[in-house]
Structure 1
Amino acid sequence: METEGSVALIVGVTGMAGFSIAQALKRPEAPGAPWTVYGSSRRPPPSWFPETTLDRFLQLDALDRDWTVRALAPVAAHVTHLFWVALASRESEEENIQANSAMMANVLRALVLGGGSRLRHVALQTGTKHYFGPFVDTVSMSRIGPVEVPFREDAPRLPYPQFYYALEDILSSYTPKLTWTVHRSSLIFGASTCSVNNLLLTLAVYALICRHEGSPYVYPGTGYTWSHFCDASDSGLLAEQQIWAAMSPAAKYQAFNCTNGDVFTWRSIWKLVSELFHVDFSDCPSKPVGPTWVGEMKKKAHVWDAIVEENGLLKTSLEGIATFEALYAVLNFGFQHVCSMNKSREYGFVKSVDTLKSVRKWVERFEGYEHNPQRLMERM
């Protein structure tokens, strides 16, 4: 096994962010190149996942300590950099803390078990819920208090538990044996059928269902989010920031927001997605659609099955590919979801992405992912 130089392990490699990190590491111009890239996830990579993206795939459930140790044993002594983009989503935040903390603790133990470890840096991806707290339903959202924007990395922690904080504390406990960085993403735009909160894919699925049924592409949010600012994180840009920070001495032990560097209104996104999927653009309704929209969309599984069958798409279930609860929550925020990127720029990461161009790019990837004849999406 040739593992001299930089060796990455991406935990959660089949998700939007994980896949983009793997692709970015394989580029000749990546900081620290050439990289040996290992990836792990609970389920094997989907059919569209290019085999050449990884040097080795390791299937494991990080909640199972013994399984994790066995699966990582062949590579544990070689890994130099851990990219943590895994996520266990549970019913309550207390359960989220327990599950996600156990996963990280199990992987870190497996990588340093028995001495001789080469692991020297961990990149932890979290998100903007760091600043306004967890939300899993409309009741949780109603408890979100005043939110100060733009979000800044030096904002104090909120006065209640959150699994992002727990993961940061685990990393801090390894200081100075390991260096670490934290990367707080906004809404991630990317392409994957294995991601918990793929909002862009959900928008696309919703548009195709509306077109199939001949129904209006109604905005299920408020007039506030329709016309106020929001930001997003292109998964490719998020990957580049994590690799930059992993190889930048000045970035060690720092937390960084990572967004595209611009802002958008949901009106502009709605108009663009309507254009891309050839559905009539509908202005924000004067009367809110309401939370029943989520339940109504979940009943469309048979419609999605018909779309997949009629267009020869990759076999996916509506439940597995769309996250209507998360989309509804974001479109009903009572604050502008905007991050400051000043700290990242001051430390040396100055790249940016045009969000509307990012949307177009990922929709094109949905259509013919990695030239797979069974596309994730279709347009007419």
Structure 2
Amino acid sequence: MKNNKTALVVGANGVIGSNLIAYLEELGDWNIIGLSRRGGHNTSKTNYICVDLLNADDCKKKLLPLTNVTHIFYAAYQDKPTWSELVEPNLTMLVNVVNIIESIADNLEHISLMQGYKVYGAHYGPFKTPAKENDGGHMPPEFNVDQQQFLEKHQAGKNWKWSALRPSVVGGTALGNPMNLVLVIAVYATMSKELGLPLRFPGKSGAYDKLMDITDSRLLAKATVWAATNIQCANQAFNITNGDLIRWNELWPKIANYFEMEVAPPLQMPLQTIMNDKASVWKSMQQKYKLERHSYENLSSWGFGDFVFSWDYDFFSDGSKARRLGFHEYIETEQMFFDLFDELKKQKVIPG
């Protein structure tokens, strides 16, 4: 059967983009193109293109041949040290992709935008929970909002539609990702075990008992395709989560048990500081347990771990809108962590 849908996955190597490509390949009725600064290894179903999305000339050179694209799945992200500095590069990358593809792809149907709870101001402090898609906005800067406003304005009078997906913290196994909490916990736990230490929650004491939700990257992939291929989802935003809530004070001891470790009371420790000098420890663990020789810097984003573990306020959204419109997938968050830890062991990223 000839595939008549062509997906352009922007940010193909990230935890979101890589799982989206894997799901599209499983479906079997998509042509897939992955965009990334690092490129990728082509498969029978996916072709990768190395492109600098901030370079307009490089974008034109690499994207102008992509006349068959029907769906853009935008999950690219460039990290910056301040909220205001995030706006320009992340908006520019989206604008470059959309302007070029729209000008040459006559059959463009849909543009999917990946967002997050920053839309609700969750990164600033306590926010209204459960957050809903129609909650009021907050004072800029916020690149997620600017990106959506660009799509809303640009789509007026066009045949293509857009959707915005708003996951919570995303769980996955992709390496070299600036926001991979599963990998943060896995490396921190296995290194603690190697040093003969119990597993301590390193965040703020107030964060240990607050409610939060998580989004599995595989479930997010399914939701993303669902929203992009169902007309009732057109031009709307959707919160996408696993469907349950966790508290670290309940889950943390279970994580310790998974790694066959004792658990000790929480102790606030900045991971960026205490883990900064542990590259030699990890290198010796790679040799001892015959692990893949991934660089220590690419294995874990300690700053993101500090960020998540500092949330001493409830952090969750209302996901009922997607369910009302037909998306009923869910996954138990506790099992998600264990499954992903198993996958990291299988990939020889952490000791088995």
| TM-score using structure 1 length | 0.87
* Contact 1:125-1:182 at 8 Å conserved across structures: yes
Please state how far the C-alpha of 1:3 moved relative to its aligned partner. 7.4
Question: Which of 142, 146, 152 is the equivalent residue of 1:162?
Answer: 142
**Counterpart of 1:339 in 2: which secondary structure?**
coil
| Superposed structure 1 runs of 4+ greater than 6 Å apart | none
1:132 alignment partner in structure 2: 121
The answer on 1:173 being equivalent to 2:146 is no
**Counterpart of 1:82 in 2: which secondary structure?**
strand
2:99 alignment partner in structure 1: 109
* Contact 1:198-1:322 at 8 Å conserved across structures: yes
Instruction: Provide Cα deviations, 1:127-156, integer angstroms capped at 9, x if missing partner.
Output: 11211254xxxxxxxxx3541111111111
Mapped to 2, the partners of 1:146 and 1:276 lie a distance apart of 31
User: 1:179-218 maps to which residues of 2 (within 5 A)?
Assistant: 179-218=161-200
Please state how far the C-alpha of 1:217 moved relative to its aligned partner. 2.0
Aligned sequence identity (%): 26
Amino acid at match of 1:41: S
| Unaligned stretches of 5+ residues in structure 2 | none
**Counterpart of 2:331 in 1: which secondary structure?**
coil
Amino acid at match of 1:110: I
Instruction: Provide Cα deviations, 1:5-45, integer angstroms capped at 9, x if missing partner.
Output: 111011111111111111111223xxxx5111111111133
Amino acid at match of 2:275: M
Mapped to 2, the partners of 1:111 and 1:202 lie a distance apart of 36
1:377 alignment partner in structure 2: 350
Amino acid at match of 2:57: D
Counterparts in 2 of 1:133 and 1:109: CA distance versus 1, 3 Å: same
2:88 alignment partner in structure 1: 98
Mapped to 1, the partners of 2:330 and 2:141 lie a distance apart of 32
Question: Which of 307, 326, 347 is the equivalent residue of 1:348?
Answer: 326
Report how many aligned residue pairs link the two structures: 350
| TM-score using structure 2 length | 0.94
RMSD between superposed Cα atoms in Å:
1.9
Mapped to 1, the partners of 2:46 and 2:5 lie a distance apart of 13
Amino acid at match of 1:187: V
Question: Which of 302, 310, 329 is the equivalent residue of 1:324?
Answer: 302
**Counterpart of 1:180 in 2: which secondary structure?**
strand
Instruction: Provide Cα deviations, 1:161-190, integer angstroms capped at 9, x if missing partner.
Output: 101011111211221423100000101111
Amino acid at match of 1:173: K
Counterparts in 2 of 1:270 and 1:116: CA distance versus 1, 3 Å: closer
**Counterpart of 2:208 in 1: which secondary structure?**
helix
Please state how far the C-alpha of 1:310 moved relative to its aligned partner. 2.1
Mapped to 2, the partners of 1:23 and 1:319 lie a distance apart of 25
Mapped to 2, the partners of 1:194 and 1:243 lie a distance apart of 24
**Counterpart of 1:298 in 2: which secondary structure?**
coil
Mapped to 2, the partners of 1:65 and 1:198 lie a distance apart of 29
Please state how far the C-alpha of 1:368 moved relative to its aligned partner. 1.7
Please state how far the C-alpha of 1:332 moved relative to its aligned partner. 1.7
Question: Which of 341, 344, 351 is the equivalent residue of 1:363?
Answer: 341
